[in-house]
Amino acid sequence: MSSEQYFPGLEGVIAGETAVSSIAGDLEYRGYSVTELADSSSFVETAYLLLHGELPTAEQLADFKAILIESAEIDPAIYEFLKKIPLHVGAMDVLRTGISMLAHFDPQLDDESPSANIAKATRLLAQIPMLIAARHRFRQGLELVPPDPEGSFAGNLLQMINGREPSQSEEDAMDVSLILYAEHEFNASTFTARVVTSTQSDLYSAIVAAVGALKGPLHGGANERVLEVLEEVGTPENAEPWVRHALATRRRIMGFGHRVYKDGDPRAVILRDYCRSLALEQGDTKFELIADTLETVVRQEKGLPPNLDWPSARLYRYLGLEVDLYTPLFVASRVAGWSAHVIEQAGNNRLIRPVSRYIGHATRTYVPLEERED
């Protein structure tokens, strides 16, 4: 009998080492609790931490913000191409193509030094929101809204999409969501980026591949399915019969359970409070009441707590964002973590090449074509 072990989905398998983040207990970025970062930091400061390894000084943070503003400009040829993409094409597909196009205009494309990769990652942080907003507004026949040099990253992101200045509570909620989505150890898209990097390919190729992995409904696309559930339930009164019928018919309800967090996703707890605050501020708590009922029943019946996708879908709805923007906004945040992993992988590289367990035919003898029976 073979002594080899097989773990479907690589569950529980240690596939590498990282100093970028830890999910043992509380989620930490570079040793800092994500709860503390959500309470006290900003997304831009968190992105700097992920890319550079340390929290910035006031001067370093000011310089980083200035670089982000300066780097936001995109070649007009890319905008012209985005306008020509058929309207039915999904936002993630367009974003994947847009990021790939950015590579052609990057003067450091072939420079894979750590400093060049940090510079490229910083430009991507600045330019990805521009791509997201541009596609959204072109699709609606609207003019682009330029970023405000004095505005925050989260505030500009919302304003460039919605065409209006967000309230402070909206800006704060968006900023916290970006912090919470910025990094999460060896998830599917991050591991994809590291695999590509391990071949000594470039940062842009790794990020484009990660976007492809994130698009899937079992990863980044899950938050889009969450809103569909809430809308299907419709009313708080229908929530309990709906969820009990869904469980009885073995329907999968997106937004619950996590491969790693068996006792609950700490990020979901943080974002839930922002959802409730915005719902109360807007005078419509319908989705909060539906979500509370579904959470209670799913926990009781299946022992599954909500993950980050569960509150984020509601939050983005309250922020006036269309569903097809949800996963692209995930990219706008996670590019910081992806890039940190790309830089780390390149700095201590070994080609990632696992083995498989063969379950096909035993060794067979080739039969010439003329001797094969119909």
101-147 confidence digits (pLDDT tens):
999 999 999 999 999 999 999 999 999 999 999 999 999 999 999 99
**Do both 133 and 69 map to the same domain?**
yes
| CATH label of the domain that carries residue 237 | 1.10.230.10
Q: Which of 90-99, 221-230, 287-296, 341-350 has the lowest mean pLDDT?
A: 221-230
Same domain? 135 vs 278: no
Model pLDDT, residue 10? 86
User: Does some domain include residue 6?
Assistant: no
- pLDDT tens, position by position, 146-187: 999 999 999 999 999 999 999 999 999 999 999 999 999 999
Q: Is the pTM of this model over 0.85?
A: yes
Whether the per-residue pLDDT at 2 is higher than 60: the answer is no
Q: Catalytic one among 258, 273, 292, 374?
A: 258
Q: Taking the CB of residue 334, how many other CB atoms lie within 10 A of it? A: 26
Residue 268 lies in a domain: yes
Which member of 106, 172, 265, 309 is catalytic? 309
Residues in contact with 13: Cβ distance below 8 Å, sequence separation at least 6, in sequence order:
7
118 and 239 share one domain: no
Is 52 annotated in the active site?
A: no
Residue 81 and residue 178 in one domain: yes
Whether residue 53 sits in one domain with residue 153 = yes
Does one domain contain both 241 and 209? no
59 & 176 share domain: yes
pLDDT at 85 > cutoff 80: yes
Residue-number span of the structural domain to which 38 is assigned:
23-216+323-347
- The answer to whether position 180 is within a domain reads yes
Considering the chain, what is the average pLDDT of its residues? 94
Averaged over 57-72, what is the pLDDT?
Answer: 97
Same domain, 185 and 313: no
Give residue 9's pLDDT.
Answer: 83
Q: Is residue 8 part of a domain?
A: no
> Tokens for 175?
């900023």
Same domain, 258 and 185: no
End-to-end Cα distance, the chain = 37
287 pLDDT exceeds 90?
yes
Contacts of 116 (CB under 8 A, 6+ apart): 108
Residue 155 lies in a domain: yes
26 falls in which pLDDT band (50, 70, 90)?
confident
pLDDT of 1: 43
pLDDT of 366: 96
Structure tokens at 87: 């309207």
Specify whether 193 is located in the same domain as 261. no
Q: What is the DSSP letter of 348?
A: T
pLDDT of residue 219: 84
Residue 216 CB burial class (10 angstroms; 0-12, 13-18, ≥19): middle
Asked whether residue 327 falls in the same domain as residue 187, the answer is: yes
pLDDT band at 259 (very low <50, low <70, confident <90, very high): low
Of 274, 300, 318, the residue at which a domain comes to its end is 318
Query: Does residue 209 carry a pLDDT above 50?
Result: yes
Q: Are 186 and 243 in the same domain? A: no
Let me know: does 265 contact 223? Beta carbons within 8 Å.
Answer: no
Share of the chain above pLDDT 70, in %: 98
Say whether 110 is catalytic. Answer: no
CATH of the domain at 141: 1.10.580.10
Give the pLDDT score at 261: 63
Q: What is the domain count for the chain?
A: 2
Q: How confident is the model at residue 3 (pLDDT cuts 50, 70, 90)?
A: low
What pLDDT does residue 323 have?
93
CA 34 to CA 105: how far, in whole Å?
Answer: 34
Domain end (from 318, 333, 364):
318
Q: Could you say which of 300, 318, 336 is where a domain stops?
A: 318
Quick check: 354 and 198 in contact, CB under 8 A? no
